[in-house]
């Protein structure tokens, strides 16, 4: 375990060093983070500019969902997707062989292979949004709600990681599927809306088939204090199930790996 | 000059055949690309569910369905991934092959992307049918002039989108982080083209900016032509502006390419 923590720390340091090498990106990323936050908020502003309430969701509670979405997207773009894009590239070029040769678990090795440290701006934006939403709502969440809200954020990030790993494992079989990540990203975009705002069929799909709601809506409800205890437990259980499935898929994928190098 | 033109024209059928073969060869990739453009369906469900509680700034549920189906249709027919194709080829060095051919790459890339159109139409046709036979048809124009101009407007939207993405791809000659620019482009596009929201729902200052940017002509204009009833003067004005953007952006894209290609050093074996 210590070995893996040290490995993750080393890889983080390498990523930080290369991020520092492109210091100008600091400014670009800051501007991009602000712009993309504004872009995400716009439909919400348009919608709640006319309506006060959509299917039981008012502006502050929708903003909390948006904050969770922004935070998770930061984790996705800062941590998960750079590593997995890296993996797809290695599988294609054949240099994945060297990863397999190393005396550590390959999944742990690739899952933390690259970070985009500047995405921390998006995370800060998400926190600012949360604070604003609760200020607008006029009531702060209780410590228990904060605890559960943070716990479910971690669960959401893990569930997302599991989905993306399954997707990356697919590239062992299909080879050229880098754009599967784009697709997942596009689907994940729906997470910015409280799932209850969507019609029934979508609600079902995004809860049980592609559990985007589990990642953003439910944690937000936990923080708002409207989530039932059973749903919270089911969310955590579902996350574990996803992690186990993704691990199994990954192992099966590794077994069928045939090197692309010559 | 004349010989170059006739050479290009003679090569076109072959180029298109290659494009079709490429699309078929990478069919899994192609289907995934198509699925990434289905976002309007979710926006459609969202807004119709909102509009069920009464019309929203003049849009009722049917108007939203018509708008987003038309958006999806136009996006399916105009979308392309030439910027990603170019970045890949410049990075891998396979661009060198393309440069050896005696035809301007703008043409070869165009052919390769046009060849995907028949496959995209397979997705687009059911949309047209749904648009015409369901209650959403009340949101479609009956003006024959507008219906006739719709394909023309889509064709120009295709060319504008292609030119912008070709220019972004050409940036890979100058920069290494072109991917970030493509992401930025998509963000601006989804806001200013009406992809995310109909432009007349946007707050006034943003709608004003959208009116002067080229993005509107890649999506919103054909969608407006099919879903609104426009006075013919307005229709003519929109189409004229679209022609102007098409010419200007193609000229810009080719200029950027020609400036960039001089810096190209092939990498790879």
Residue A20 structure tokens: 């520092």
Residue B170 resides in a domain: yes
> Model confidence over A238-259: pLDDT tens digits?
999 999 999 999 999 888 887 7
Tokens of A79: 């941590």
Confirm whether B269 is domain-assigned.
no
B42–A198 C-beta distance less than 8 A: yes
Q: Is A43 on the interface with B (CB under 8 A)?
A: yes
Q: Which residue of A has its CA nearest to B34?
A: A183
In the numeric block, which tokens belong to residue B77? 């027919």
pLDDT at A19 over 80: no
- Count the alpha carbons within 13 Å of A149 in the hemisphere toward its beta carbon: 22
User: Is 70 exceeded by the pLDDT of residue B269?
Assistant: no
Counting Cβ atoms within 10 Å, is residue A48 exposed (0-12), middle (13-18) or buried (19+)? middle
Shortest alpha-carbon distance between residue B145 and chain A (Å): 33
> By the 8 A CB rule, do A44 and A62 touch?
yes
Please determine, for residue B156, whether its predicted confidence score (pLDDT) is greater than 90. Answer: yes
Range of the domain at B17: 2-261
Structure tokens at A204: 């079902």
Instruction: Read off the pLDDT of residues B5-52 as tens digits, 9 standing for 90 and up.
Output: 788 888 888 888 888 888 887 777 777 777 777 788 888 888 988 888
Q: Are A11 and A113 in contact (CB under 8 A)?
A: yes
* Residue A43 to residue B39, Cβ atoms within 8 A: no
Query: Taking chain B, what is the end-to-end CA distance rounded to the nearest angstrom?
Result: 33
pLDDT at position A37: 84
ipTM of the complex: 0.79
> HSE of B182 in the Cβ direction (CA atoms, 13 Å)?
23
Q: What is the pTM of this model?
A: 0.85
**Taking 70 as the threshold, does the pLDDT of residue A260 lie above it?**
no
Distance separating alpha carbons of residues B223 and B216, to the nearest angstrom: 10
Q: How far apart are CA B53 and CA B47, in angstroms?
A: 10
B58 vs A63, which has greater pLDDT? A63
Asked if B108 and B10 touch (Cβ cutoff 8 Å), the reply is no
Residues from chain B that touch A198, judged by Cβ atoms under 8 A, are 42, 45-46, 49
By the 8 A CB rule, do A119 and A74 touch?
yes
Check pLDDT > 80 for residue B85. Answer: yes
Does the pLDDT of residue B1 top 70, yes or no? no
The answer to whether the Cβ–Cβ distance between A54 and B202 falls below 8 Å is: no
* CA R_g for chain A: 19
pLDDT tens per residue, range A165-179: 888 887 777 655 667
Q: What span, in angstroms and rounded, lies between the C-alpha atoms of B38 and B40?
A: 5
Minimal CA–CA distance to B185: which of B55, B84, B259? B84
pLDDT class for A111, splitting at 50, 70, 90? confident
Hey, is the C-beta of A177 within 8 angstroms of any chain B C-beta?
A: yes
Mutate to test the interface with B, among A42, A176, A185, A191 (most CBs of B within 10 A): A42
In this structure, is residue B268 part of a structural domain? no
pLDDT (average), residues A180-186: 79
Question: Which residues are CB-neighbours of B20 under 8 A, at least 6 positions away?
Answer: B115, B118
Residues of B with CB below 8 A from A179's CB?
29, 32-33, 36
Nearest of B57, B61, B28 to residue B44 by alpha carbon: B61
What pLDDT, in 10s, does the model give residues B124-149? 788 788 877 887 778 888 888 999 99
The first and second tokens of residue A137, run together, are 């709502």
Which residue of B26, B36, B94, B215 to mutate against A (max A Cβ within 10 Å)? B36
Residue B267 maps to a domain = no
**Cβ–Cβ below 8 Å for B50 and A54:** yes
């Amino acid at each position: 375990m210590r070995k893996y923590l040290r490995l993750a720390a080393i890889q983080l340091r390498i990523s930080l060093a290369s991020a520092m090498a492109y210091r100008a990106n600091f400014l670009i990323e800051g501007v991009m983070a602000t712009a993309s936050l504004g872009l995400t908020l716009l439909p919400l502003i348009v919608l709640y500019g006319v309506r006060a309430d959509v299917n039981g969701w008012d502006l502050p509670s929708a903003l909390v969902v948006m904050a969770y979405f922004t935070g998770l997207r930061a984790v996705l773009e800062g941590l998960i997707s750079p590593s997995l894009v890296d993996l797809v590239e290695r599988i294609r070029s054949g240099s994945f062989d060297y990863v397999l040769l190393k005396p550590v678990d390959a999944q742990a090795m690739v899952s933390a292979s690259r970070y985009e440290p500047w995405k921390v701006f998006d995370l800060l934006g998400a926190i600012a949004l949360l604070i604003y939403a609760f200020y607008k709502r006029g009531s702060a969440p209780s410590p228990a709600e904060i605890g559960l809200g943070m716990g479910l954020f971690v669960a959401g990030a893990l569930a997302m990681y599991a989905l993306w790993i399954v997707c990356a494992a697919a590239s062992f079989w299909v080879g050229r599927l880098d754009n599967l990540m784009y697709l997942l990203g596009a689907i994940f975009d729906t997470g910015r809306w409280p799932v209850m705002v969507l019609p029934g069929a979508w609600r079902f799909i995004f809860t049980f088939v592609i559990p985007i709601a589990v990642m953003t809506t439910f944690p937000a409800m936990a923080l708002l204090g409207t989530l039932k205890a059973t749903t919270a437990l089911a969310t955590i259980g579902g996350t574990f199930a996803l992690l186990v499935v993704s691990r199994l898929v990954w192992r099966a994928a590794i077994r069928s790996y045939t090197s692309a190098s010559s | 000059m004349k010989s170059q033109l006739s050479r290009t024209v003679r090569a076109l059928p072959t180029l298109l055949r290659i494009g079709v073969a490429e699309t078929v060869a990478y069919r899994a990739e192609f289907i995934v690309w198509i699925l990434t453009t289905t976002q309007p369906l979710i926006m459609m469900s969202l807004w119709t569910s909102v509009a069920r509680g009464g019309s929203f700034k003049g849009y009722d549920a049917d108007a939203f369905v018509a708008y987003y189906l038309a958006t999806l249709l136009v996006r399916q027919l105009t979308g392309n991934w030439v910027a990603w194709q170019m970045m890949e080829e410049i990075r891998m060095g396979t661009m060198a092959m393309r440069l050896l051919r005696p035809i301007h790459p703008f043409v070869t890339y165009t052919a390769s992307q046009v060849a995907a159109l028949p496959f995209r139409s397979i997705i687009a046709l059911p949309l047209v049918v749904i648009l015409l036979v369901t209650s959403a048809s009340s949101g479609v124009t009956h003006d024959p002039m507008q219906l006739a101009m719709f394909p023309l407007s889509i064709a120009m939207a295709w060319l504008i989108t292609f030119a912008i993405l070709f220019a972004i791809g050409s940036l890979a000659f100058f920069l290494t982080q072109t991917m970030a620019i493509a992401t930025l482009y998509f963000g601006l596009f989804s806001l200013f083209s009406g992809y995310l929201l109909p432009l007349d729902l946007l707050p006034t200052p943003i709608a004003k900016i959208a009116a002067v940017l080229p993005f509107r002509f890649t999506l919103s204009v054909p969608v407006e032509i099919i879903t609104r009833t426009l006075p013919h003067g307005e229709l003519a004005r929109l189409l004229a502006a679209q022609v102007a953007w098409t010419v200007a952006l193609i000229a810009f894209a080719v200029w950027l390419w020609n400036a960039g290609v001089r810096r190209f050093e092939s990498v790879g074996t």
